[in-house]
Amino acid sequence: MTPSATVLSRAETAPDSGVNPAAAERMHLVVTGHVDHGKSTILGRLLADTGSLPEGKLDAVRMTCERNAKPFEFAFLLDALKDEQAQGITIDSARVFFKTPRRHYVILDAPGHIEFLKNMITGASRAEAALLVIDAQEGVRENSRRHGFMLSMLGIGQIAVLVNKMDLVEYSQTVFDRIVAEYGQFLSRFGATPVWFIPVSGVTGENLAAPAPNLSWYRGPTVLDALEGFENRQPLTSTAFRMPVQGVYKFTQHNDTRRIVAGTVESGRIAAGDEVIFYPSGKKSRVERIEGFNRPPATAAAAEEAIGFTLTDQIYVGRGEIAAKTGQPKPHVTTRMKVSVFWLGKSPLVMRKEYLLKLGTGRVPFRLEQIHRVIDASELSISEARATQVQRHEVAECTLALGKPLAFDTADQCPSTGRFVIVDNFEISGGGIVREALPDKQAWVREKVLNRNYKWEPGGVSAERRAERYSQKPVLLVITGDKDADRKRLARELEVRLFDDGRHVYFLGIGNVLYGVDADIERTGVNRLEHLRRLGEVANILLDAGLIVIATAEGLTQEDIDVIRTSGGSDRVVAVWLGDRTTTDLSCDLLLTQQDAETDGVTQLKSLLHDCGAIFKPW
Ligand code: GTP
Ligand code: MG
């Protein structure tokens, strides 16, 4: 017998993990249910009964139990397999692998909510179906309900409910029927219908791989038959291409300036020669070559493969962007989204606090903008009355306001880039799915920027080479403040000082833009944001040329600076307020009083430029 049951790390579940992907279908399952209802026992027993255990494993575990005078448990099999594999690699939960004539199964035994959510959302398991275990003797418990709700929220419609430990209730049909009625009614309240309810016993193996004489009143399939009857969802390879960028790596060979864009293909396929667009930036290029890890270069790759590719143009992209393909539906890019959140944090999810959202490889800070309604996932009681917080185990529909634009999909379009986890205080405290992308104030600018970046013609010299040559990184320093503050004098003085230091710097007088590039639009209030957008565009070109740019403008608000950031590049614009206190809603990077400006204003600005990485040599 070939050993086929193994606990796998993520890398090993990739299609080249010894299984020929062409030879068999694969299905990812998740096993959930209330604590102690028998998840691990059922899995262990399924492995044993389908001949999926490594040879001698069962006997070895039995003997260990005997030696320790401990009754044998099928659940120990999972622990044993886990231990064996865990040496040297960290695995957070047991992933079990077994095969039948029809296909290969990758099963995740998720011991708790956090593990379950984490695995569902970070993509370690892409469950397409679920086994939900309910103890016949204990009946439906709160986690039976919560997990049912979460499965439905995450779009896992294929559920087999296993009513376990039937041996403890004398195989009673009445007990079974009661659970079917109660739990079926619960699921139906949010529109979920399990495909099967199956009475089983994990300990005796009844109705797992073979029918049980004790349960002769039951006419449905065994668990194995039910699994075999589940349909694989639409293959991920036939949907739009998505690859969250994990990192961009340099070739180490001499003089090789190429970069490898690395990540895991979440859906779709990609081939050499394909045009790819990265979001949120909208930058585009063409795939030159696809590199696999520890295998020869390939000409194409598909969903679930960890790959890297080189590009034909010298564009700068970074971790957190999502690569998509020209001609396919684009991901959304915005700072507002409507979501369903499942909250698990010890302290409630509250308004006004800053949290971290992780989606794909992207990470952005966010705050709750609004809580629309809150649902208790176990009782299904709904509160729509102006909720201001979400308690542990509650599900809420909310609007999130992100600290910067993020690329994502809605969960119904592309689940893997439409799910997220929420980090509070360095701990995963919740997760959820994106229901809707909402417009924000910058949408009109962003649309233009996406188009501009799409059409952008890169030169032959990369930004990196310029930075090396000039010993600086391009930044736009905007000095704003009240009417009477002498911004221009300070800006010019800084320009001269930086120039004398050997920097490549340019003072961009706002009038130069206003009467030139903006000559076609009037200088009235309604055009204010358009003027700023154009200022950002002009700065963007100067920044692309590698310069440090200094501009001044009176009384900028947060929205004003956001427009400049959207067009000039969000991480390349620094805002300084000159004056004793800000008189708009701007949150600036430096507040410089008039008095400080006169004594050591230039030094303070230089140190700000140093802190943001624009100048890095001692001055
Ligand atoms: P957690 O991982 O802790 O949530 O538990 P679990 O759901 O994995 O349960 P596990 O498989 O560890 O089983 C819990 C206990 O129930 C063990 O002592 C099992 O032997 C027992 N058990 C599981 N299935 C059956 C069954 O069908 N019949 C009987 N009599 N006992 C069972
Ligand atoms: Mg368990």
| DSSP per-residue string spanning 305-364 | -EEEEEESS-----TT-EEEETTSPPPEEEEEEEEEEEE--SSPEETT--EEEEETTEEE
CA distances 255 to 250, 290, 314, 465, 501, Å, are 11, 20, 14, 12, 30
Return the best residue to mutate from 30, 39, 41, 200 for the ligand 1 pocket (most ligand atoms within 8 A of CB): 41
3-state secondary structure of 100: coil
Rounded to an integer, what distance in angstroms lies between the CA atom of residue 613 and that of residue 472? 8
pTM, rounded to two decimals:
0.77
- Residue 91 pLDDT: 39
Mean pLDDT of 343-356: 93
- Residue 11 pLDDT: 32
Instruction: Report whether 14 contacts 294 (CB < 8 A).
Output: no
Among 278-282, 289-293, 591-595, 597-601, where is mean pLDDT lowest? 289-293
Residue 86 has pLDDT above 60, yes or no: no
What residue spans of 354-504 are helical by DSSP H? 443-455, 463-470, 487-500
- Residue 29 pLDDT: 87
Question: What does R_g of the chain's alpha carbons equal in angstroms?
Answer: 29
- Residue 112 pLDDT: 66
Instruction: Report whether 167 contacts 201 (CB < 8 A).
Output: yes
Long-range Cβ contact pairs of 105-108 (< 8 A, separation 24 or more)? 105/26, 105/27, 105/28, 105/29, 105/227, 106/8, 106/13, 106/26, 106/27, 106/28, 106/29, 107/28, 107/29, 107/30, 107/31, 107/43, 108/28, 108/29, 108/30, 108/31
Closest ligand 1 atom to Cα of 200: 27
Instruction: Report whether 199 contacts 167 (CB < 8 A).
Output: no
Q: Kind and range of the H or E element at 143?
A: helix 142-153
Mean pLDDT of 466-472: 94
Please state the three-class secondary structure of 199-258 as a single string.
ECECCCCECCCECCHHHCCCCCCCHHHHHHHCCCCCCHHHCCCEEEEEEEEECCCCCCCC
Q: What is the DSSP letter of 567?
A: H
Mean pLDDT of 558-579: 94
Closest ligand 1 atom to Cα of 44: 11
- Closest Cα to atom 2 of ligand 1: 111
Contact 596 CB / ligand 1 (< 6 Å) = no
Two structure tokens written together for 499? 């120039």
- Residue 194 pLDDT: 84
pLDDT, tens digit (0-9, with 9 covering 90-100), for 399-444? 999 999 999 999 888 888 998 999 999 988 998 899 999 999 999 9
* CA distance between the termini of the chain: 71
- Residue 157 pLDDT: 83
Contact 390 CB / ligand 1 (< 6 Å) = no
Rounded to an integer, what distance in angstroms lies between the CA atom of residue 601 and that of residue 471? 23
- Residue 526 pLDDT: 84
Rounded to an integer, what distance in angstroms lies between the CA atom of residue 584 and that of residue 140? 56
Greatest mean pLDDT among 3-17, 58-72, 108-122 lies in: 58-72
Contact 79 CB / ligand 1 (< 6 Å) = no
Among 70-79, 272-281, 445-454, 564-573, where is mean pLDDT lowest? 70-79
Closest ligand 1 atom to Cα of 112: 4
Closest ligand 1 atom to Cα of 164: 27
Residue 89 has pLDDT above 80, yes or no: no
For residue 280, cis peptide bond before it (omega within 30 degrees of 0): yes
What are the backbone angles phi and psi of residue 488, rounded to the nearest 5°? -65, -40
Mean pLDDT of 5-18: 34
pLDDT, tens digit (0-9, with 9 covering 90-100), for 504-532? 999 998 888 988 999 999 888 889 999 99
Return the best residue to mutate from 36, 96, 144, 162 for the ligand 1 pocket (most ligand atoms within 8 A of CB): 36
Residue 581 has pLDDT above 60, yes or no: yes
- Residue 192 pLDDT: 82
Mean pLDDT of 391-395: 87
Contact 203 CB / ligand 1 (< 6 Å) = yes
Give me the chain's average pLDDT, please: 87
- Residue 93 pLDDT: 54
Confidence of residue 478 (pLDDT cuts 50, 70, 90): very high
Mean pLDDT of 581-601: 94
- Closest Cα to atom 28 of ligand 1: 165
CA distances 24 to 27, 99, 350, 611, Å, are 10, 9, 47, 54
Q: Kind and range of the H or E element at 160?
A: strand 158-164
- Residue 118 pLDDT: 67
Closest ligand 1 atom to Cα of 37: 7
- Residue 10 pLDDT: 33
Contact 75 CB / ligand 1 (< 6 Å) = yes
- Residue 315 pLDDT: 83
Of 470, 474, 442, nearest to 612 by C-alpha is 474
- Closest Cα to atom 22 of ligand 1: 38
Phi-psi region of 18 (alpha: psi -120 to 50; beta: other; left: phi over 0): left
The distance from CA 298 to its chain's CA centroid, rounded to whole angstroms, is: 26
Mean pLDDT of 34-58: 88
Measured in angstroms, how far is the CA atom of residue 48 from the centroid of ligand 1?
A: 16
Q: What is the DSSP letter of 268?
A: S
In sequence order, the 6+-apart residues with CB closer than 8 A to the CB of 193 are 184, 187
Rounded to an integer, what distance in angstroms lies between the CA atom of residue 252 and that of residue 259? 10
> Could you tell me which residue, 537 or 101, shows the higher pLDDT?
537
Rounded to an integer, what distance in angstroms lies between the CA atom of residue 180 and that of residue 363? 42
- Residue 90 pLDDT: 34
What are the backbone angles phi and psi of residue 224, rounded to the nearest 5°? -60, -45
Q: What is the DSSP letter of 54?
A: P
- Residue 1 pLDDT: 33
Rounded to an integer, what distance in angstroms lies between the CA atom of residue 619 and that of residue 609? 12
Measured in angstroms, how far is the CA atom of residue 216 from the centroid of ligand 1?
A: 23
Instruction: State the burial class of residue 567 (Cβ atoms within 10 Å of its Cβ: 0-12, 13-18, 19+).
Output: buried
Residue 387 has pLDDT above 80, yes or no: no
Q: What is the dihedral of CA 304, 308, 311, 314, to 10 degrees?
A: 130
In sequence order, the 6+-apart residues with CB closer than 8 A to the CB of 461 are 314
